[in-house]
Structure 1
Amino acid sequence: MVIGVPTLGAIAETFSEKTKLCIECLLRAEYELERPDLSNQPKAKLAAVLVLLYENAGELRVVLTTRSKFLRAHPGQTALPGGKADESDTSLVDTAFREAHEEVGLPLNCAHVHKLCVLQPFLSSSGLLVTPVVALLTDVGLLAGFTPCVGEVDRIFSHPLEAILDPQLAGNEPLVPKGSEHWPYPQDFYCMSDVVDTSVVYRMHRFRSCASPIKGLTADILIHVAEIAYHKKTSYERHPPGHASSAVCLLRLHTG
């Protein structure tokens, strides 16, 4: 069982004031945000990802992976550790941590990993209901022991969470070169495109990183987490004009 954080308590002393405020906002989200009841959904439709945060130089960063190029689904793309629910999982929180253990070697039942909140599910392109579990790593020394799962993960890396709201904040990161395989776009830090699917317009966000681009469902989840944590909106237009509620409507259709 992962240890929760009912209050900031003693661990707050080690964080910057900015990070403390982010943690408080995420803790409140556990009790303030509405989440659909997924108990009537078959486990085959359920998945969970772990949004694992840690502080470095006073700023929150998020652990990400580049999926193996040999995988059938989304090869070579940036992802959050996670996957489909297993029949042995007692909850989607268990799913997120089990998958993170398998994919990057995050220790199970670790006293330095604290669940902050569980957010409403996102609907993936394959019809899975993906629940983000947000957690805090308080011993950054554990990062050195993370190991990519052979055949599933090619690389483990991190990105500043606030740069998901304001991409220019990633200017000091060791970003991949422009024009390279992982950033063939002319923009310096961020680009987007709108995709029409029947009556729904989906905005694909892409963020330049030190590895594969952060985009699609992973980007959508991180935008939501960052908006909650920093209590502010994106510096770019989050949704296509007139389609801000499209994703919510689709989710209700699949969970209703």
Structure 2
Amino acid sequence: MSQKDQTCLSASICISKFTNFIPSALFPKAKLAAVLILLFEEAGQLRVLLTTRSKDLRTHAGQTALPGGRVDESDITPIQTAASPQYREAHEEVALPLNSPLIRTLGTLRPFVSLHGLIVTPVVALLADPSIISTLKAAEAEVAGIFTHPLEAILDPALSRKEPLVSPGEDWIYDTELHNTTDSVFPFLKDSTYRMHRFRSCATPIKGLTADILIHAAEVAFGRPPEYDRWAEGQPRTFATISQCFA
């Protein structure tokens, strides 16, 4: 088997793990949101679509995000917000084509809790034609830029050295080369410690909830833990434990 075939096989195995993955918690009924983890294969590696939020937004201005938003009352499931046949939020934010046969929903991951107490469900989808990425267009009111990042580099930041990374300075202010963490005690987690992860990219840093979601997605896809210490001492690790902090 050629190296190219081996690489494609590896990507196929990663994709199959998403379709076989069962979330560890049921979806809550209130304060729901969803984000789209849109994956595609390029040069033998899985990449994920990301956006930089507009600096004019009220929350998380200028930060890296996955396409998505709050679940509307008309949505039957979180999948309809981020990655249903309508792909509503992704279409609004980056003009992802509606009802495209080239986009296949693989499933959902476990919910996450945001800083504002939203229950965020990641929906994983596969884009069969990577050329669509170059046709995407940012909605100026919400999105300042569109970029992609190799999913495996979330587990092993050294892999991102092959990327056209931003220069140290305004876009990467940290004293580490590729991956940065800080541990802080947050009152909203009932004074538990939370480890903030930041990953250098070709655009804005991948950090916070977006980083947490992608770490979990990469662990599912590649079946292994990160090359760094994922958790702070005493940090809540499950959805059930974290959600209790907001009770």
Q: Same fold (TM over 0.5)?
A: yes
- Which residue number in structure 2 is paired with residue 110 of structure 1? 100
Range moving further from structure 2, 180-189 or 238-247: 238-247
CA distance in 2, matches of 1:120, 1:74: 22
1:153 aligns with 2:140: no
- Which residue number in structure 1 is paired with residue 166 of structure 2? 176
CA distance in 2, matches of 1:242, 1:105: 41
Which of 178, 192, 206 in structure 1 is aligned with 2:181? Answer: 192
SS of residue in 1 equivalent to 2:20: helix
Q: How far 1:33 sits from its partner (Å)?
A: 3.1
Which of 111, 117, 126 in structure 2 is aligned with 1:121? Answer: 111
- For residues 138-187 of structure 1, give each alpha carbon's deviation from its aligned partner in whole angstroms, at most 9, with x where no partner exists: 01121122000111000000000000000010001000001x21101111
- For residues 2-43 of structure 1, give each alpha carbon's deviation from its aligned partner in whole angstroms, at most 9, with x where no partner exists: xxxxxxxxxxx9x801101101111110xx3322242xx23x
Map residues 222-241 of structure 1 onto 2, 5 A cutoff: 222-241=214-233
CA distance in 2, matches of 1:223, 1:37: 20
Q: How far 1:120 sits from its partner (Å)?
A: 1.5
Counterpart code for 1:87:
E
- Which residue number in structure 1 is paired with residue 66 of structure 2? 80
Map residues 17-32 of structure 1 onto 2, 5 A cutoff: 17-29=9-21, 32=22
Q: Give the percent of matched residue pairs that are identical in Structure 1 and Structure 2.
A: 50
Describe the shift of the 1:247–1:89 C-alpha distance in structure 2 as closer, same or farther (beyond 3 A). closer
Q: TM-score, normalised by structure 1?
A: 0.88
1:205 aligns with 2:197: yes
Q: How far 1:247 sits from its partner (Å)?
A: 5.5
User: Where does the alignment leave 5 or more consecutive residues of structure 2 unmatched?
Assistant: none
Map residues 25-40 of structure 1 onto 2, 5 A cutoff: 25-29=17-21, 32-38=22-28
Q: How far 1:86 sits from its partner (Å)?
A: 1.4
- Which residue number in structure 2 is paired with residue 52 of structure 1? 38
SS of residue in 1 equivalent to 2:242: helix
Counterpart code for 1:80:
L
Q: How far 1:253 sits from its partner (Å)?
A: 5.5
SS of residue in 2 equivalent to 1:16: helix
- Which residue number in structure 1 is paired with residue 56 of structure 2? 70
Contact 1:200 1:246 in 2 (8 A): no
Q: Provide the aligned length of Structure 1 versus Structure 2.
A: 235
- For residues 61-106 of structure 1, give each alpha carbon's deviation from its aligned partner in whole angstroms, at most 9, with x where no partner exists: 0000000000010000000000011122222111002111100111
Q: TM-score, normalised by structure 2?
A: 0.91
User: Where does the alignment leave 5 or more consecutive residues of structure 1 unmatched?
Assistant: 1-12
Describe the shift of the 1:116–1:246 C-alpha distance in structure 2 as closer, same or farther (beyond 3 A). closer
CA distance in 1, matches of 2:246, 2:106: 26
Counterpart code for 1:195:
S
Range moving further from structure 2, 108-117 or 71-80: 108-117
What RMSD, in angstroms, separates the aligned Cα atoms of the two structures?
1.6
